[in-house]
Amino acid sequence: MAVVLILVLIVVGSVLFHVLSPWWWTPIASNWTYIDTTLVITFWITGIVFVAVVSFMAYCVFRFRHRPGNKAHYEPENRKLEVLLASGTAVGVAAMLAPGLIVWNQFISVPADAASVEVVSQQWLWSFRLPGADGKLGRAETRDVSPENPLGLDKNDASGLDDVIIEGGELHLPIGKPVHILLRSVDVLHDFYVPEFRAKMDMIPGMITYFWFTPTRTGTFDILCAELCGVGHPQMRGTVVVESDADYQTWLGQQQTFTQLTASAGPAN
């Protein structure tokens, strides 16, 4: 009976925690409504299965507990039950996966007016690059990375000379404007993750991955690396600051361009 009581308390406690506790994510990005909906669908399906399975376990422990004189009935297979369980599982898995396909399409369908921002990862540092006055990001190659050119920008590409470079600092974003996040790694596999934005994406050396979002609330949020990337992985943190457009423009005007950084570095020895 103690086992039955524990199982029942687990079911009741889990349901009450989900329904009564204010644990839901903060709405930071407006276009993540569809991700929340997908999570809700997943919680409903897995929650119903969880309650059904644990409740059935409690029933079986109580119903078929040991009693003197009772004899167990051995039934090696039950085709009807097997078909029912397999079909139910298939329907449940499909119901969880199908919305994900729709969400993924929205996740990578970048609006035409989204501003491009490049996030560059390396052991164990976050750097950022924003377009300059021309509104375009210049070319960059990992082979061009050096102490004087930490993001590997192509010095022969005029579009990159006015790019704004933030190495190891904060990334500021204006509120209410869609942002196209371009992700690049210069060494090993990393993962750009801001929990409040509902989004994360692997950063694979030799590739540029991406996603987009629209910040809808001002504040300061942590950037985490969600991929084990070496001994410094736990300390690989950054900051995203979402602020008004006026504050963003003030911050942007204080940052250095690629040309200015190159000039300040001086000629290589």
State which residues of the chain have pLDDT below 70.
23-32, 264-269
Do residues 241 and 217 make contact, with C-beta atoms less than 8 angstroms apart?
Answer: no
Q: What are the boundaries of each domain within the chain? A: 113-263
* Strands of 179-185's sheet in order across: 164-167, 125-130, 115-122, 179-185, 209-213
For residues 86 and 77, the answer to whether their CB atoms sit within 8 Å is no
Number of Cα atoms under 13 Å in the Cβ half of residue 266 = 1
Residue 250 has a pLDDT of: 92
Fill in the amino acid letter for 66: H
With both helix axes pointing from N to C terminus, report the angle between 79-108 and 33-63 in degrees, rounded to the nearest 10: 160
Predicted pLDDT of residue 27 = 61
- CA neighbours within 13 Å on the CB side: how many for 153? 28
Q: What is the pLDDT of residues 114-141, one digit of tens each?
A: 889 999 999 888 999 999 888 888 888 8
Quote the pLDDT of residue 24: 66
- The span from the CA of 155 to the CA of 41, in Å, is 49
Bridge-based pairing state of the strands 179-185 and 115-122: parallel
CA distance 22 to 16: 11
**What are the angstrom distances between the C-alpha of 72 and each of 80, 92, 107?**
21, 32, 54
Q: Which residue has the tokens 């190159």?
A: 262
The per-residue pLDDT for 268 is 47
For residue 28, the model assigns a pLDDT of 63
Which residues contact residue 55 at a Cβ distance below 8 angstroms, ignoring those fewer than 6 apart? 7, 8, 11
51: its two tokens: 């309650």
Amino acid 129: pLDDT: 92
Number of helices followed by number of strands (H, E) in the chain: 5, 10
Residue 142 in tokens: 């990992």
| Single-letter amino acid code for the residue at 145 | V
- CATH classification (class only), 113-263: mainly beta
